[in-house]
Amino acid sequence: MTYWIMAAIAASWSVLEWVWEPTVGVFGGLVAAIHVAGIMMIPIFPRMASAFTILFAAAACLVPSSGGPSQIWGLFLAFGVLGYTAASWMAVGCYATLMLASVIQLYVLQPAAVTDPRTLLSFATAQAIAACFGRALQWRQRMEAAQRERALLSERQREIKRNTALALALHDQVSGSLSLASREAQRRMRRIPPDSDEYETLQRINADVLDGLNGLHDAIDQLRHVDAAAGAVPRRHAPEPDADLRHALRRLIEQEDRRLAKLGYHGQGSVEFMGSDDLSPQLQQELLGLTAELYANICRHCPASGTYALSIRRAENVIVVTERNDRFGDDSGTDGSVIGGEGSGEELRGGHGLALHARAVAALGGTCEFRPDHHAWSVTVRIPLRA
């Protein structure tokens, strides 16, 4: 609509000048008509019609004619639109062509005419300003588009962090407890006759827990469908302000060791570093959350009466977390460690939490290495220290 309004104004002025000073001869009338038609084509084909209007005006300068519009209004519009829509080389080329034709007209074709050089300079300056104005509008539009894109990207990154933090919170706060409940139900089921009422009750409870876990993992899957790693970690296991990270890790490890020992697992964790003043809050939170997830993974995939070992130590410039535990030969958990309904084929899915923590570790500049084999599974996490 803006193009149509500007084209209507330029065409109106050209027609008024045409009426005020009629053309002499058919050729002059044809030139004026083509010029007005070129102006009206600019809203339809902005770039091509603008270039045509300018180049036609340059050609008209080389063929003398009398009367008719001055074409200055159409050139103002054409240069402004060309500066806004076309590449710089195209606008510069059209401008140079028109200026060259104007110089040839005034100083070669009409050498006897008395022309003040300031007139040509003013004309050239006015057309250049029109082209620069169009280019400035284009640059402003691009800048605003870039700002909107950056705002959308920033919002997307915040959404990714929220989703990753929520997925971690769901997994760490719910999945581990449900896995322990399922494992305890399975352990009791192995100790009682299959035809007893208690066995049937435990089997139903275990199936309900597995359904809940599968639904939870489906929700986590939806939250994990993001394009970038996020560094946000829920504060479920974060130490209190001014608390010593080593003591917090030891308390967590002792608590998890006791829970696994009650379920028949053999092993223990250890912490081998002093001080945590130079560790960033994000790194401390991730260490605690990762430790809890590794213990939950032991409960999920290590066979009954299996062994495990976990170590957290501080090297010169890196925190190293290693964990190793026995595992089932096919790692499916269907050989008695996970019991669903008879013939149901239900399995306890895992791996969501570790994948999420791997993203958080990568966001901190660290690496996670998973090494499964037929009888054991191990993970090594290295996170660089950050003040």
Amino acid at 224: R
Distinct helix (H) and strand (E) counts, the chain: 11, 5
Which pLDDT score, from 0 to 100, does residue 115 have?
A: 64
Residue 267: what pLDDT?
A: 92
Same domain, 99 and 236: no
Residue 377, C-beta contacts closer than 8 angstroms, at least 6 positions apart: 301, 324, 325, 326, 327, 331, 370, 371
CATH number of the domain within which 193 lies = 3.30.565.10
Residue at 137 is within a domain? no
Residues 232 and 371 grouped into a single domain: yes
pLDDT of residue 381: 93
What is the reported pLDDT for 97? Answer: 92
- Contact present, 69 and 28 (Cβ < 8 Å): no
| Whether residue 202 sits in one domain with residue 65 | no
Residue 304: its H or E element = none
Statement to judge: residues 370 and 304 lie in one domain: yes
Distances (CA, A) of 220 to 210, 225, 301: 15, 9, 19
**Residues 105, 164 within the same domain:** no
Q: Are residues 179 and 325 located together in one domain of the fold?
A: yes
Q: Is residue 25 part of a domain?
A: yes
Per-residue pLDDT at 305: 78
Give the position of tokens 């290693």. 322
Domain that holds residue 279: 158-384
What pLDDT, on a 0 to 100 scale, did the predictor assign at position 321?
93
**Domain's final residue, options 93, 115, 137:** 115
Q: What secondary structure letter does DSSP report for 254?
A: H
Within-domain flag for 233: yes
Is 126 within a domain? no
pLDDT for residue 334: 35
Number of domains in the chain: 2
User: Is residue 329, in this structure, part of any structural domain at all?
Assistant: yes
The pLDDT of residue 279 is 79
Residue 241: the pLDDT is 38
Three-state secondary-structure class, residue 381: strand
Tens-level pLDDT at each residue, the chain (387 residues): 777 888 888 888 788 877 787 777 777 788 888 888 888 888 899 889 989 999 988 888 887 766 667 788 888 889 989 888 888 888 899 999 988 988 888 777 776 555 677 778 888 888 899 889 889 988 998 899 889 888 888 888 888 778 777 777 777 667 767 777 877 787 777 778 878 888 778 877 877 777 777 777 777 766 765 433 444 444 444 444 345 788 888 888 998 888 888 778 899 999 987 666 567 888 888 888 889 888 888 877 788 778 999 999 987 788 999 999 987 654 443 333 333 333 333 333 445 577 778 888 888 889 998 887 777 888 999 998 864
Is the same domain home to 198 and 341?
yes
Q: Is the pTM of this model over 0.85?
A: no
Strands of the 376-384 sheet, one edge to the other: 266-272, 307-314, 318-326, 376-384, 367-372
Identify whether residues 79 and 176 lie together within a single domain. no
Tell me if 270 is assigned to some domain.
Answer: yes
The answer for residues whose C-beta is within 8 angstroms of residue 19's C-beta and 6 or more apart is none
- Residue 141 belongs to some domain of the structure: no
Supply the pLDDT for residue 67.
61
Domain boundary among 89, 115, 141: 115
Do both 188 and 335 map to the same domain?
Answer: yes
Among candidate residues 115, 133, 167, the one where a domain is terminated: 115
